[in-house]
Amino acid sequence: MVRQIFLFFIGSHAAGLHNNYKILNVSRLPGNKNGKIIQFQILEHQRRWIAVGWSDKLLPYERANHTNEALQATSSPEAFTFPFNSNHWKWLEDKWSVDAEFCKMKNKEGWVYYDNYWKNPCYQDTITAYTRSRKWTRKAVLVTDHKM
Protein backbone atom coordinates (compact mmCIF):
# COMPACT_ATOMS: atom_id res chain seq x y z
CA MET A 1 0.00 0.00 0.00
CA VAL A 2 2.78 2.44 0.92
CA ARG A 3 4.61 1.50 -2.29
CA GLN A 4 1.49 2.21 -4.38
CA ILE A 5 1.00 5.60 -2.72
CA PHE A 6 4.66 6.47 -3.28
CA LEU A 7 4.50 5.41 -6.95
CA PHE A 8 1.31 7.43 -7.40
CA PHE A 9 2.93 10.62 -6.10
CA ILE A 10 6.03 10.27 -8.25
CA GLY A 11 3.88 9.72 -11.31
CA SER A 12 4.24 5.99 -11.89
CA HIS A 13 0.90 4.49 -12.84
CA ALA A 14 2.30 0.97 -13.04
CA ALA A 15 1.69 0.47 -9.33
CA GLY A 16 -1.81 -0.91 -9.76
CA LEU A 17 -1.67 -2.02 -13.39
CA HIS A 18 -4.20 -4.70 -14.23
CA ASN A 19 -6.01 -5.92 -17.32
CA ASN A 20 -8.84 -3.43 -16.87
CA TYR A 21 -10.00 -3.69 -20.47
CA LYS A 22 -13.55 -2.88 -21.32
CA ILE A 23 -15.20 -5.69 -23.24
CA LEU A 24 -17.95 -4.51 -25.56
CA ASN A 25 -20.02 -5.82 -28.42
CA VAL A 26 -20.04 -9.47 -27.44
CA SER A 27 -21.64 -11.50 -30.24
CA ARG A 28 -21.75 -15.16 -31.26
CA LEU A 29 -19.29 -16.61 -33.74
CA PRO A 30 -21.22 -18.04 -36.73
CA GLY A 31 -21.09 -21.84 -36.81
CA ASN A 32 -19.73 -22.18 -33.27
CA LYS A 33 -22.11 -21.86 -30.34
CA ASN A 34 -19.19 -21.58 -27.90
CA GLY A 35 -17.34 -18.79 -29.74
CA LYS A 36 -17.90 -15.13 -28.93
CA ILE A 37 -16.60 -12.02 -30.68
CA ILE A 38 -15.17 -9.54 -28.19
CA GLN A 39 -14.14 -5.93 -28.86
CA PHE A 40 -11.42 -4.52 -26.61
CA GLN A 41 -11.03 -0.77 -26.12
CA ILE A 42 -8.09 1.17 -24.71
CA LEU A 43 -7.99 4.95 -24.29
CA GLU A 44 -4.66 6.71 -24.85
CA HIS A 45 -4.06 10.05 -23.09
CA GLN A 46 -1.42 12.72 -23.61
CA ARG A 47 -0.55 16.16 -22.28
CA ARG A 48 1.07 19.09 -24.09
CA TRP A 49 4.19 20.45 -22.40
CA ILE A 50 5.57 23.86 -23.32
CA ALA A 51 8.77 23.55 -25.40
CA VAL A 52 8.24 19.77 -25.65
CA GLY A 53 4.90 19.26 -27.40
CA TRP A 54 2.58 16.30 -26.93
CA SER A 55 3.86 13.66 -24.53
CA ASP A 56 2.63 10.60 -22.66
CA LYS A 57 4.08 12.14 -19.49
CA LEU A 58 1.05 13.21 -17.48
CA LEU A 59 0.80 14.91 -14.11
CA PRO A 60 1.19 12.50 -11.15
CA TYR A 61 -2.41 12.92 -9.96
CA GLU A 62 -3.96 12.51 -13.42
CA ARG A 63 -5.24 9.45 -15.21
CA ALA A 64 -2.74 6.93 -16.54
CA ASN A 65 -1.42 7.14 -20.10
CA HIS A 66 -3.62 4.16 -21.08
CA THR A 67 -6.97 3.45 -19.44
CA ASN A 68 -10.33 1.84 -19.98
CA GLU A 69 -13.39 4.10 -20.26
CA ALA A 70 -13.71 4.14 -16.45
CA LEU A 71 -10.19 5.67 -16.40
CA GLN A 72 -8.68 2.61 -14.70
CA ALA A 73 -5.05 2.05 -15.73
CA THR A 74 -4.36 -0.56 -18.41
CA SER A 75 -1.38 -1.45 -20.53
CA SER A 76 -0.79 0.03 -23.97
CA PRO A 77 -2.13 -1.72 -27.08
CA GLU A 78 1.42 -2.95 -27.76
CA ALA A 79 1.66 -4.57 -24.32
CA PHE A 80 -1.88 -6.01 -24.34
CA THR A 81 -2.38 -9.52 -23.00
CA PHE A 82 -5.65 -11.41 -23.11
CA PRO A 83 -7.60 -11.72 -19.86
CA PHE A 84 -9.05 -15.05 -18.71
CA ASN A 85 -6.01 -17.15 -19.58
CA SER A 86 -7.97 -20.41 -19.26
CA ASN A 87 -9.82 -19.68 -22.50
CA HIS A 88 -8.67 -19.74 -26.12
CA TRP A 89 -8.32 -16.39 -27.89
CA LYS A 90 -7.68 -15.49 -31.52
CA TRP A 91 -7.46 -12.02 -33.06
CA LEU A 92 -10.02 -11.21 -35.78
CA GLU A 93 -8.15 -8.06 -36.78
CA ASP A 94 -4.46 -7.84 -37.65
CA LYS A 95 -3.76 -4.79 -35.51
CA TRP A 96 -5.24 -2.22 -33.16
CA SER A 97 -7.01 0.66 -34.90
CA VAL A 98 -8.06 4.14 -33.88
CA ASP A 99 -11.82 4.47 -33.33
CA ALA A 100 -12.90 7.27 -35.70
CA GLU A 101 -16.30 7.54 -34.00
CA PHE A 102 -14.62 8.60 -30.74
CA CYS A 103 -13.65 11.91 -32.36
CA LYS A 104 -16.86 12.12 -34.41
CA MET A 105 -14.72 11.42 -37.53
CA LYS A 106 -13.36 14.97 -37.41
CA ASN A 107 -9.71 14.12 -36.80
CA LYS A 108 -7.87 11.53 -38.90
CA GLU A 109 -5.60 10.56 -36.00
CA GLY A 110 -8.59 10.04 -33.69
CA TRP A 111 -7.72 12.64 -31.04
CA VAL A 112 -10.22 14.56 -28.95
CA TYR A 113 -8.60 17.65 -27.42
CA TYR A 114 -9.38 19.10 -23.99
CA ASP A 115 -8.33 22.02 -21.82
CA ASN A 116 -5.86 21.72 -18.95
CA TYR A 117 -8.48 19.96 -16.77
CA TRP A 118 -9.66 17.35 -19.30
CA LYS A 119 -12.84 19.37 -19.91
CA ASN A 120 -14.36 21.17 -22.93
CA PRO A 121 -13.73 18.65 -25.73
CA CYS A 122 -12.99 19.78 -29.28
CA TYR A 123 -11.86 17.91 -32.37
CA GLN A 124 -8.88 19.95 -33.50
CA ASP A 125 -5.69 21.09 -31.83
CA THR A 126 -5.99 24.65 -30.51
CA ILE A 127 -3.89 26.99 -28.41
CA THR A 128 -6.11 26.22 -25.39
CA ALA A 129 -5.81 22.42 -25.77
CA TYR A 130 -3.38 20.96 -23.25
CA THR A 131 -4.67 17.38 -23.02
CA ARG A 132 -5.95 14.86 -25.53
CA SER A 133 -7.33 11.33 -25.76
CA ARG A 134 -8.06 8.75 -28.44
CA LYS A 135 -9.59 5.29 -28.42
CA TRP A 136 -7.96 2.14 -29.78
CA THR A 137 -10.07 -0.95 -30.58
CA ARG A 138 -9.45 -4.52 -31.66
CA LYS A 139 -11.70 -7.56 -32.01
CA ALA A 140 -10.92 -11.10 -30.94
CA VAL A 141 -12.73 -14.42 -30.72
CA LEU A 142 -13.13 -16.09 -27.34
CA VAL A 143 -13.76 -19.83 -27.53
CA THR A 144 -14.67 -21.41 -24.21
CA ASP A 145 -14.49 -25.06 -25.33
CA HIS A 146 -10.93 -24.80 -26.76
CA LYS A 147 -12.09 -26.06 -30.19
CA MET A 148 -11.44 -23.79 -33.16
The pTM assigned to this predicted structure is 0.77
Between 28 and 4, the higher pLDDT residue:
28
Is residue 10's pLDDT more than 50?
Answer: no
* Ramachandran sector of residue 108 (left: φ over 0; alpha: ψ -120 to 50; beta: rest): alpha
* Average pLDDT score over residue span 9-37: 53
The distance from CA 124 to its chain's CA centroid, rounded to whole angstroms, is 20
Domain locations in the chain? 21-143
Average pLDDT of the residues of the chain: 82
Per-residue pLDDT at 87 = 74
* Average pLDDT score over residue span 90-116: 95
Reference 124, options 146, 141, 144, 104; nearest CA is: 104
* Average pLDDT score over residue span 119-140: 97
What percentage of the chain carries pLDDT values higher than 70?
72
* Average pLDDT score over residue span 72-87: 88
